Structure 1
Amino acid sequence: MDHAIEVTDNPDAKRFEITVDGKLGGFAEYHRLTGRLVFTHTEVDDAFEGQGLGSRLVHDALDSARAAGLSVVPRCPFVARYIERHPEYRDLVAGHRPDAAEPTG
């Protein structure tokens, strides 16, 4: 069964939200500073665990940051791990040096 999944920025709540068929499935909280988003916490409702919603949420949130020209500070461990596993987002990390050696291992 296909579900309507949508990720939106809710700046009043300072978080990106993911909905499934109109029901809140999770969120990624952030603090917005000049030119950057500091991700502090990501949570997915127990009813939706194991369905990839956390990854979809972070993916879309990072794409939104990129589109807005913002860098990110991944204080949330889930966001940090997502960026580690998806090197195409490493350039968004505040202070990232493209000439720095990539970690081995």
Structure 2
Amino acid sequence: MKQEYQLVDNAEAKQFEFDLGDAIAKIEYIRAKEKIYLTHTEVPESYEGKGIGSQLIRKTLEHIKAHDLTLIPLCPFVALYLSRHPEWKSLVLKGINIA
């Protein structure tokens, strides 16, 4: 069974994080009123390929939805996730096309 990590909104560092114990996985963001720009996703190399990045994006999207924010996905990894999970596209700013 995959481990579930707790999403932390580190507003001071402007990033959503998972504390992996010996490292941090993160999505950096820029917040502007009711819009949130996801700019960069980073998972430590030793944790790559374990689904942590996808779990981090999913929990971040849940947070964005719960806080009624409009998403502008600037990170290619986030955009790829959205293209594979169209149920989240309703969060994306109208006019932004995710393939």
Check whether TM > 0.5: yes
Q: Larger C-alpha radius of gyration, 1 or 2?
A: 1
1:9–1:16 contact (8 Å) kept in structure 2: yes
State the Cα distance separating 1:19 from its structure 2 match: 1.9
| Residue identity opposite 1:25 in structure 2 | I
Alignment RMSD (CA, Å): 2.3
TM-score normalised according to structure 1 size: 0.83
Residue of structure 2 in register with 1:14 after alignment = 14
1:86 counterpart = 2:98: no
Point out the structure with the larger strand share.
Answer: 1
Superposed CA deviations along residues 27-85 of structure 1, whole A, max 9, x for unmatched, are 00000011111000001001101100000000000100000000100000000111111
Percent identity between matched residues is 39
Aligned equivalents of 1:83 and 1:66: distance in 2? 14
State the Cα distance separating 1:5 from its structure 2 match: 2.2
State the Cα distance separating 1:2 from its structure 2 match: 6.5
Unaligned runs of 5+ in 1: none
Residue of structure 1 in register with 2:67 after alignment = 68
Unaligned runs of 5+ in 2: none
Give the total of aligned pairs: 99
Aligned equivalents of 1:83 and 1:7: distance in 2? 19
TM-score normalised according to structure 2 size: 0.88
1:43 counterpart = 2:42: yes
